[in-house]
Structure 1
Amino acid sequence: MSALKDPCIGVCKFADDVCLGCGRSKREIKVWKKLDKDEKRAVLAQADLRLLALGATGRRKNK
């Protein structure tokens, strides 16, 4: 298992099956704890792209 921190920021509002807080899909949120480090990194990269596409700041707000 991985030590990557769960990206949830407690917003949990969805648009087209994508959380506006963390950028993950509902399926990705559900399986997060079972993913290995490389899979989590891939999910986080996709989540960032989704947030940008949606114009949502989500977890990227403090960057």
Structure 2
Amino acid sequence: MAKEIESPCASICRLKGELCIGCGRTVDEIRLWRAMKRPEKMKTVKRAAERLKKLPRD
């Protein structure tokens, strides 16, 4: 059986517009996380990581 994809949640839940600056996911991605299949979770984690790299540090 395939290993479960861990949520990228960093327990720093702060939204900046539609984006969480803690994990890099959009509000919709956070809301839909539990219903996502493994491939979509993998894509979401990758997109979230890329978004975090682009966020300016306060």
TM-score normalised to structure 2 length: 0.83
Task: State how far apart, in whole Å, the 1-side matches of 2:9 and 2:47 are.
Answer: 15
Note the 1:3-42 alignment, pairs <5 A.
3-42=4-43
Measured on the aligned residues, the alpha-carbon RMSD in Å equals 1.4
| 1:50 partner letter | R
Runs of 5+ in structure 2 lacking a partner? none
Aligned residue pair count: 55
SS of the aligned residue for 2:50 comes to helix
CA drift at 1:15: 1.5
CA drift at 1:3: 1.0
More relative contact order in 1 or in 2 (CA 8 Å, sep 6+)?
Answer: 1
User: Taking every aligned residue pair, what percent have the same amino acid on both sides?
Assistant: 31
CA drift at 1:55: 3.3
Partner of 1:54: 55
Runs of 5+ in structure 1 lacking a partner? 57-63
Runs of 4+ in 1 over 6 A off after TM superposition: none
TM-score normalised to structure 1 length: 0.77
